[in-house]
Structure 1
């Protein structure tokens, strides 16, 4: 499938209501067509992994195409140069999350990018760093507890004053870390209790962030 064909399919799948939702969240990605994630995933399955096409779709600057690019990207062919170029072009929380979970987390560069991004001054880089930590916490069973515990002091010290989308990522990361083992659960729950409730600005929508303490104390590990 050629890039022009994919873009035509995206326009066919577009839903103007999705654009309105992002507008209410005060996040209006440039040239957002309005294709929901379910339809994007279905299209990605049809296309299958395609590194050259993923690069072309990312280069279009159409938000939906960039999201799709992360879904069809072949992580085995992704270079560090590509990762560094693309993270610099990320401008929204959803694109940041999909880029990190679909692409970066599936490369051997995962740990090095956590190290580079978790204290980065730019909002999307730092969100990306914490998104990668959360992804690793949920999916990897070999990493020692100490690796994840090392990020709890930074979350506790910074989350209240962090920028909106970093704060959201830290909140989810705290929950992910505390959901790994009983020891991490106790440590993360203690941090959540000291932090108190965290509010994320989702604009004029009904979206709400999960309460970390409730999440960490309502499940058995």
Structure 2
């Protein structure tokens, strides 16, 4: 914790605060702190319990998917209100855990939109890698009905799922684009030069053209 405090940079914290993140540590330096500590599960649990965002990021780098039970992952997700902490928890641990599918189903319909956003993130992963037992038309129905008025983080996760359906499933591409055009979610999102817009009609068409 002292080492993280020494790495604190007010300018980084100010930038992160605009995205809802509560830490001011350069992520490359933070990874350097975590690297020699990997596998120290008890230490990771203590860091997580501190509730400090930077310490929790270090904890997530120390832990391995096999270190955590389904209930522990569920509890951590519900505690991880900081976007970067939630993102790393889902991508580094939950997606690689044997509990991923069970948690996806639990979180997907959770009334808490932050928890539900994690369920949608796992669903996007499944859309790409294992869609055979998903109801893609049903997902499109939900997105069409709910995405426009969803809270920001849930809306982003649903938009990502919509984009992946359009990109990876040509049979549903036309409808995915049509939903994106009608709802106009992230249509005006500022996109740096050379990057692809998250606005689904632009995103899907660009990625589809690269597949040809």
Task: Return closer, same or farther for 1:179/1:49 CA change in 2, 3 Å cut-off.
Answer: farther
Instruction: After superposition, give the CA deviation of every residue in 1:93-150 in whole Å (9 maximum; x if it has no partner).
Output: 2222111111111111111111111121112211111122223445x3x442745554
- Runs (4+) of structure 1 exceeding 6 A deviation are 199-202
Q: Is the 8 A contact 2:70 2:103 kept in 1?
A: no
- Alpha-carbon distance in 1 for matches of 2:21, 2:94: 24
- Alpha-carbon distance in 1 for matches of 2:135, 2:39: 32
Residue in structure 2 matched with residue 102 of structure 1 by the alignment: 92
Residue in structure 2 matched with residue 114 of structure 1 by the alignment: 104
Residue in structure 2 matched with residue 168 of structure 1 by the alignment: 156
- Alpha-carbon distance in 2 for matches of 1:151, 1:79: 28
Q: Is the 8 A contact 2:189 2:199 kept in 1?
A: no
Instruction: Identify the match of residue 23 of structure 1 among 3, 17, 20.
Output: 17
Task: Return closer, same or farther for 1:51/1:108 CA change in 2, 3 Å cut-off.
Answer: same
Residue in structure 2 matched with residue 66 of structure 1 by the alignment: 56
Instruction: Identify the match of residue 10 of structure 1 among 1, 4, 12.
Output: 4
SS at match of 1:114: helix
Q: Write out aligned runs for 1:188-207 (5 A).
A: 188-198=176-186
Instruction: Identify the match of residue 85 of structure 1 among 75, 78, 87.
Output: 75
- Alpha-carbon distance in 2 for matches of 1:200, 1:157: 21
- Alpha-carbon distance in 2 for matches of 1:200, 1:71: 34
- CA apart distance, 1:170: 1.4
TM-score by length of 1: 0.79
Moved more, 64-73 or 185-194: 185-194
- CA apart distance, 1:164: 1.4
- Alpha-carbon distance in 2 for matches of 1:183, 1:168: 23
- Alpha-carbon distance in 2 for matches of 1:187, 1:88: 33
Which structure carries more relative contact order (alpha carbon 8 Å, separation 6+)?
1
Compare the two structures and name the one with the higher helix fraction.
Answer: 2
Residue in structure 2 matched with residue 205 of structure 1 by the alignment: none
Please list every run of 5 or more consecutive structure 1 residues that lacks an aligned counterpart in the other structure: 1-6, 203-208
Q: Is the 8 A contact 1:189 1:216 kept in 2?
A: yes
TM-score by length of 2: 0.82
